[in-house]
Structure 1
């Protein structure tokens, strides 16, 4: 679906206004010295040392986020399917996922560090962030099925597993990609937060260390990089979701 020129124009104008506003706030120190001009951040990233440092840590964060995304999706889909095939497990899985999601990351991180290790903690936290969103998405998709189609499978004597593979999973594909649009940014955010707790590398580590050493250009460069990656992931999966929705509509 093509966007109208007016919509594109508004988007460009809004982005330009945001960039100009950020530059003016930093240049005139309207938010203090902790908000540097955008040109200073760009100049830092343009240096060989600054750009190389940011790129190396960005790759580490992307790797942790990608692993967490795959693991979280796999566990969530399997859990949702298990709850459908074995209905007696549904209440327990719902409560377990809700309780696990409600535990603050700062309380969970020390346990993960001592069990999974510092390097794996960002991946685990990303997987937990993704898993809850996808589990809720898939259980809702399975619950909103057509009663008439379900009755046909029942009359034909289909097993729960046959209904899952031939009816529920194909019908839930659009919802699955809807969940992906939310899970991708959550994976990046989860990996970045997980790196705050002592990971050897990553954007989260850069944010914490630069904040402690008052390296504002590096702090903002890392924060902006994480934001742009999350936005890019969201836009990519949104386009994929629109294609899938049109294909299965």
Structure 2
């Protein structure tokens, strides 16, 4: 068996064992009534009304997370590029990014509601969550070019813009893709949290409603749906990263 096949077999075995453990924990009541058997959650999801409700919520959360992911990633890369083109501004930009990331979401929520509205809050929080991870990756990636190549460009009189386009951005591609794999799950989490501040729809709304009304199957269904979105985004971007590794590394 090849190394790749062995890794896939181990991953599949791990997933199966996890599912069996979740089912057994629920059947035996080891963690109380708040941990239902996985089959009960699946049965709930198969009901037409529940499936329709989850589908609408999933679409709303995925839309907010996707827009926030794209917006946060683009802004983060733009700020990192600005720091390369204006080296004097780079320390200030890095401190600003750290301060914004340190702001507690519980404090940002009411502020965002009054500025962008309840429907826009999940998207903005998703952008903030994705943006910091992407900014760190972009900053590191743009500094990843080898010193020898940088010296050659400087000796040839290349401007900062030319070095950025011809050297630093190509060298940064693997780390940029690493940043995207981290930013995508973060944007889903940000969107779900943003929906807690009064959004009209989304998985976050279902989570809050299920907790308040002790609807355990709905709570787990919404939580698992959020996890599946994050996992799907991560796997897609990991595959893209693998494809790009051979070209840019």
Compute the displacement of 1:11 (Å). Answer: 2.1
**Who is 1:178 aligned against?**
178
Could you tell which deviates more after superposition, 8-17 or 163-172? 8-17
8 Å CA contact 2:36–2:217 kept in 1: the answer is yes
How far is 1:3 from its partner?
5.1
- Give the corresponding residue for 1:71: 71
SS of corresponding position for 2:36: coil
Distance 1:181 1:3, change over 3 A: farther
Partner of 1:213: 213
The CA RMSD measured in Å over matched residues stands at: 1.3
Quick check: 158-167 or 226-235, which moved more? 158-167
**Contact 2:57-2:202 within 8 A present in 1 as well:** yes
Name the residue aligned to 1:144. 144
SS of the residue corresponding to residue 119 of structure 2 reads: coil
Relative to the length of structure 1, the TM-score reads 0.96
The aligned residue for residue 6 of structure 1 is: 6
> 1:100 maps to what in 2?
100
Three-state SS of the structure 1 residue aligned to 2:67 is helix
Gaps of 5+ in 1: none
Taking structure 2 as the reference length, the TM-score comes to 0.96
- Spell out, residue by residue over 1:8-59, the C-alpha distance to the aligned partner (whole angstroms, 9 max, x if none): 3322222122111111221222111111111111111001000000011000
> After the TM superposition, which parts of structure 1 deviate over 4 Å for at least 4 consecutive aligned residues?
none
Q: 1:129 Cα deviation (Å)?
A: 0.8
In the TM superposition, 1:230-241 aligns within 5 A as 230-241=230-241
C-alpha distance in structure 2 between counterparts of 1:247 and 1:159, whole Å: 25
* 1:194-213 alignment runs, 5 A limit: 194-213=194-213
CA contact (8 A) 2:143 2:168 kept: no
Q: Which runs of 5+ in 2 are unaligned?
A: none
User: What does the per-residue CA deviation read over 1:200-240, in whole Å, with 9 as the maximum and x for residues that have no partner?
Assistant: 10001100111101110000000001011111111111111
